[in-house]
Amino acid sequence: MRMGFALLGLIVATTAAALPPPSKLSSYAFVNDDGSLRIDRRTIHLYGIYIPPTARTCEDQVRPARCGPRAALALEFKVSSHFVHCTVYGAQQDGSLVGYCEADGEDLAAYLLQRGWAAALPDAPPEYAILERIARQHGLGVWGASVDRIVR
């Protein structure tokens, strides 16, 4: 019996040692057109969401005018004057990272989901699916009327 517990303990210790602890990144961030963030020369995709492509648009109420896909513009608006803090969970095959990021204490993936600019992935936290469902029900972002036809 003791040998079984010892073996189990060894397996757990080896598995835990094989998984690196999450790393942290904190800095000002630049937003890429695909909605990923660029922090300290590293690309970070927000964990748990998919950002569907949308038409490029220009936000001309700011100077200089910013152009890009709508989700990227929304994210740029949120992070433009805030320090971004990310917990990196892993890397993708292309070398980019995946992580949970906050700006001004707000979860950036949840921010996009609430506004309808992202969809929750199957492995996302349950609250992400709820935020997506609410955005869909209210016709926000990509779930709404064609935003390209709206006259300002």
What the chain holds in terms of domains, given with CATH numbers, is: 21-144 (2.40.50.90)
**pLDDT tens per residue, range 78-123:** 998 899 999 999 999 999 999 999 999 999 999 999 999 999 999 9
Choice among 22-26, 33-37, 86-90, 110-114 with the minimum mean pLDDT: 22-26
Average pLDDT, the chain: 80
- pLDDT the model gives residue 54: 74
Distances (CA, A) of 53 to 33, 64, 89, 118: 9, 23, 24, 10
Torsion of CA 113, 119, 122, 126, to 10 degrees: 20
Average pLDDT over residues 24-29: 92
**pLDDT tens per residue, range 123-149:** 999 999 999 999 999 999 888 855 444
pTM of the predicted structure, to 2 decimals:
0.76
